[in-house]
Structure formats: C-alpha cells, structure tokens
Amino acid sequence: MPTEVLIRNRWERSLGLFVALRPGEGLAVLYFMAYGFLVMFSYYMLKTLREPLLLAKATAETKSYAYAVIALILLFVVPAYGAAYQRLPKWQLGTWLGAALLAVQCAFLLFSLAGLKIGFAYYVWVGLFGVLITAQFWALAADSFNVKAGKRIFPLIMVGVSLGGLVGPAIAGHLFQTLGTRGLMLIILLLIALTLPMAGIARSAVPLHSRSLLPVRGPATPSIMGGFSQVLHSRYLLLIAVMIVLLNWVNTTGEYLLAELVIAHVDSLIAVDPSLDKGNLIAGFYGNFFSVVNAASLILQLFVVSRVVQWVGVRGAVLVLPIIALVGYGLMVFIPVFSVIRVVKMAENATDYSLMNTARHALFLPLSAAEKYQSKITIDAFFWRFGDLIQALAVYAGLNLFGFRTPQFAMLNMVLALVWLVLAMLIGRRYVGLEKAVGSGEPPRLLQGLRPQPAPPGTPLLYQLPPNLFHCEPGDILTLSVRPVDGGPLPAWLRFEPESMVFSGVPPADVDGNTWLTVRASNLEGQWAETRLGFIHS
C-alpha cells in the first residue's frame, strides 16, 4: 500500500495523544469503543442484579455449583456456536448472538413477573452471557482489523471496554435501589438491544487499509465439537487455552489468599477495638481496593499499554503479567503478610485488566476467521470457566488434604506462574511466526524517485510529495521526516508539513546554491526507507 496524504480529523488527532491512528480509523475506533462500552455496561448491570437474586435465598456455596453448571452448559454451547458459524455470514454472528441473549433475558423477565424463583438459573445465565458476548466482541474486533492496525487500535478499544466495566456497577447499584429487580431488567433489555446493530456498524466503519486481509474462512471443521476440535488440533491455540486456565487459576487463588488475609487483618483490628464492625471494615477495604485497581488499570490502558505493545510487541506484552505474578507470589512465600499481598494483588489485577487483556486478544489477530470466532469462543468461554473449576478443586485439596496455609498456596502460585511464563514465551514465539506468515514486518519501500523542483529566489514555493512515494503494509503508519543531506536543520525559509506532505516557503534572494534534502519514511517498528529531493534555485 503506498503512502497517503495523512490528513486526520480532530478526533483522530486527539486520540493521537494515546495511540497513533491513520486517517479514517477514528470513526471505527469510536464505534468499537461504544460497542465495547455497551457490552461491558450491560454485563456488569447483570452481575449486579444476579447477586441479590441468588444470595437472598441461597448460600455462597451455591455460587460454586453455578460455575460448575456454566462449564457443563458450555460443552454444548460451543459446538452450537460452531454450527452457527458454518451457516451464517460471520458479520451477522454478533447480531444473531445478541438477539438470542436478548430473548433469554426477556424470558427471565417474564418468569420473574410470573413469580417464579429464578435466582440460580439467572446466576448461571449471567455467567454464560458474560463469556459469550465478550468473546464474540473480541472475535469481531480481531477479524475486522489486520495485524498492524489491531496492535495499535486494540489498546484504545480496551479503554471503552474498561469504562463500561467501571460505570456499569456504579450505576446499577443506584438503579436497583430505585427501580427494583424488574425495572433493572428492563434497562438491561434496552442495553442489550442497543448492542444488536453495533457489530455491523463498527465493522463497516473500518477503513480498507486497516481491514483484515486474511482468508474469510479457515479450513472446515467437520467435527461436531467445532471450536474444541480447532483448539485440540492447533498447538498455538492449545497453548493459549492452557495459558488462560493458568491465568485464571493463579488470579483466583490470589483472590482467595487476599480474602483470608483481609479477614485476619480485620479480626486483629477488632481485637484491639471491639466496637468496630467487621462487615464495614471488609466492605471499606474492598471498596478502596477495587477503586485503586480500576483507576490504575485505566491509567495503564490510556498511557502505558499501547507504548508497551509498540516497544516489545505482543510477544513481550504477554510476558509481563506472569513475571509480576512470579515475583509477587515469590515475595509472599517469604513475607506472607497483609500489606505484601495487597500490593501484589493490586499490581496483578491492574496489569491483568489492562495490558494482559489487550495482549491476549491480540494473539488472535494473525489467525483465520474460523479460528478467531470458533476457537476464541471456546477458549474465552469454556477454558476460562474450566480454570475456575480447577482452582476451586485445588483450594479444596490444599485445605482439606494437605493442610496448606498462605505460604504454601503462594508457593503453588509461584510454580504455576513459572509454568505460565514458559507457556507465554512459547506462545510469543509462535505468534511472531504467524505474524510473519501473514506479511507483517515488511519495512517501507521506495516506489519512485523524485525529480528536482525549480525554486527561484523570491518566488513562493508550494510543492506536495506524491502520495505513492513509499509503500507500506496495510495497517502500518509511516512518519515522514525531512532533513538536509548534510544532516543539519532545514533552512529558515523552508517549512514541511508531514501530514499534508507539503513543502512551502520563499527562497531568499541571497540563497546559497541549491537545497538538497533527504526524505525519510519510518514505521512504528523503526524501519525506514528514504530518497533525495532537490530544490533548484538557479
């Protein structure tokens, strides 16, 4: 793809403070951010509603059974999704899935109006909703952008997703108190309905130079297991699936350790001052903890994630969280105190919600469309929930069979983080190979030379470089720079506007000789090509 005149609108220039964008990408980013916001907003509204519906008439133990039921149902949902993928145009999958989710939510509203007890079933439904709608959203995003564009744009899309996760719970709590269960269900119906047209709108807004050029459909998967078959027959996908299990296992075990130490810390405070309320102290801690984590993850998402991906690539980005977990839980083995695990979990969760989430979704960018949709649903849905089950069994066995305490669980997490790190290194290596296979990594290339341009002294100069001067890969961004061939600064009379590729100025009457310049085009990876341009003053 040749260079183009990079005239970005105000929205694209403002987003340029965080991520480099090509002209036309700003609208696509806006739609995907809005789509992701609605997805997470509706999900967190559902999560807020499901807790009182279940716990008002059940115990916390029932939640564990709900996760087991979710994993069991996903064994049937994943092949059903694969069958739908084979029969429907892929750009309609999001709409059809959203319509199905909307119908189920409507059915639960009718059940509630009929006075039926829906607590447990609704809890299971919300768990299914969350993994299905988010996996479908990121599958669409991975299928809409090519590798170069996706690596740049995913951090921005993740900002919209994060904002939905922040705003949803805060608003849902107030709405629940005001409108009650059925009123909140109606609001959720409206939110899900708003997501239905977003898939088509967002996808169609992606400019041609940023779209995925990979095959529309990968090899057919005749197995009735659909995405399961794809994961089991692809070493790359299987490594990602195992990594997701370990990620969830380590993180959830860390949450258990934090909860245990929070309770111990609160009990020690009450021992000093019996007038303190245990529930208020625990609620106060977690309110502060989640506020810090959410604020830190949003700051990381805005100012750090895109730069890390640019500096070390997706391959390096997937290594950051397992390193943090390895070091953090290693500290806990030797210093199993409340203040240490609080800092460890804040760093782990903030990195997970920002950098790791962005990187793991980007791992699917160089895959075929079939793998992006079917295998992503399988990994993000079933294998994520499978991690919940493995963690619950590990905690039960550790407590009841081996007598584990905080140091032993921290040691287990440290070992798991080490295995996770090795897996991430293998995944990163394979990702680079896939990236190269789809053509990513080619440096800019000069397509034509430049003829010297007349620039008589005292005559205004206005010259625009040809748009097909350099070639770049789809989704890549070239930055033009100009300097005299001797390496000094531009002459005082000459100005160059990189976005419009225009030279302007008035050569003075006493200009000395001719002006020879080097025009260089550099991409975000630091690769470049250059040519020479002369302004003749005689």
**What is 291-326 written as a DSSP string?**
HHHHHHHHHHHHHTHHHHHHHHHHHHHHHHHHHHHH
Q: What is the pLDDT of residue 15?
A: 73
Q: 36 — phi, psi (to 5°)?
A: -65, -35
Largest CA distance in the chain: 93
Q: Which CA distances in Å does 154 have to 80, 200, 524?
A: 28, 18, 15
Cα(515)–Cα(519) distance, integer angstroms: 13
Helix (H) / strand (E) containing 464 = strand 461-464
CA distance 358 to 321: 12
In 108-198, the DSSP E strands lie at none
List, for residues 187-226, the tens digit of each pLDDT value.
Answer: 889 999 999 999 999 999 998 888 887 654 444 444 556 6
Residue 529 and residue 536: Cα distance in Å, rounded? 23
Are the C-beta atoms of residues 473 and 213 closer than 8 Å to each other? Answer: no
Residue 2 near residue 470 (C-beta atoms within 8 A): yes
- Who contacts 185 (Cβ-Cβ below 8 Å, separation ≥6)? 49, 105, 108, 109, 112
The model's pTM is: 0.84
Radius of gyration over alpha carbons of the chain, in Å?
27
Mean pLDDT computed over every residue of the chain: 85
Separation of alpha carbons 369 and 373, rounded Å:
6
User: In Å, what is the CA distance from 535 to each residue of 40, 422, 453, 487?
Assistant: 56, 56, 5, 16
Contacts of 463 (CB under 8 A, 6+ apart): 453, 502, 503, 504, 535
Rounded to an integer, what distance in angstroms lies between the CA atom of residue 96 and that of residue 126? 18
- CA dist 322 and 416 (Å) reads 9
| Nearest one of 13, 24, 461 to 207, comparing CA atoms | 24
Domains of the chain are 22-213 (1.20.1250.20), 223-440 (1.20.1250.20), 445-536 (2.60.40.10)
**What 3-state class would DSSP assign to 165?**
helix
> pLDDT tens across 147-162, in order?
888 988 999 999 999 8
Q: What is the pLDDT along the chain (538 residues), one digit of tens a residue?
A: 555 545 566 766 777 677 778 778 888 999 999 999 999 999 888 887 776 665 545 454 466 667 778 888 888 888 888 888 888 887 788 888 999 999 999 998 898 888 888 878 888 888 899 889 999 999 999 999 988 889 889 999 999 998 888 888 778 777 777 777 788 888 889 999 999 999 999 999 998 888 887 654 444 444 556 688 889 889 999 999 999 999 999 998 888 888 888 888 888 888 888 888 877 787 677 767 877 888 888 899 989 998 899 889 999 999 999 999 999 999 988 887 778 888 889 999 999 999 999 999 999 999 988 888 989 989 988 898 888 788 888 888 888 888 888 889 999 999 999 999 999 999 999 999 998 887 666 788 899 889 999 999 989 999 999 988 898 887 788 888 999 998 888 998 999 998 888 999 999 988 888 999 999 998 877 889 999 999 998 7
Q: What H or E segment, with its residue span, contains residue 530?
A: strand 528-536
CB atoms inside a 10 Å sphere around CB 421: 19
List b or e across 271-304, with b for residues whose CB sees 16 or more CB atoms inside 10 angstroms: eeeeeeeeeebeeebeeebeeebbebbbebbbeb
Distances (CA, A) of 405 to 194, 330, 402, 411: 47, 15, 9, 10
Q: Whole-angstrom Cα distance, residue 307 to residue 302?
A: 10
Give the rounded distance of the alpha carbon of 233 from its chain centre.
25
Q: Which H or E run includes 497? A: strand 494-497
Per-residue tokens: 374:
């079917």
Starting from the edge strand earliest in sequence, which strands make up the sheet with 494-497, in order? 461-464, 502-505, 494-497
With contact defined as beta carbons under 8 Å apart, do 26 and 9 qualify?
Answer: yes
The answer for residues whose C-beta is within 8 angstroms of residue 526's C-beta and 6 or more apart is: none
In whole angstroms, how far apart are CA 63 and each of 172, 184, 248?
A: 21, 22, 17
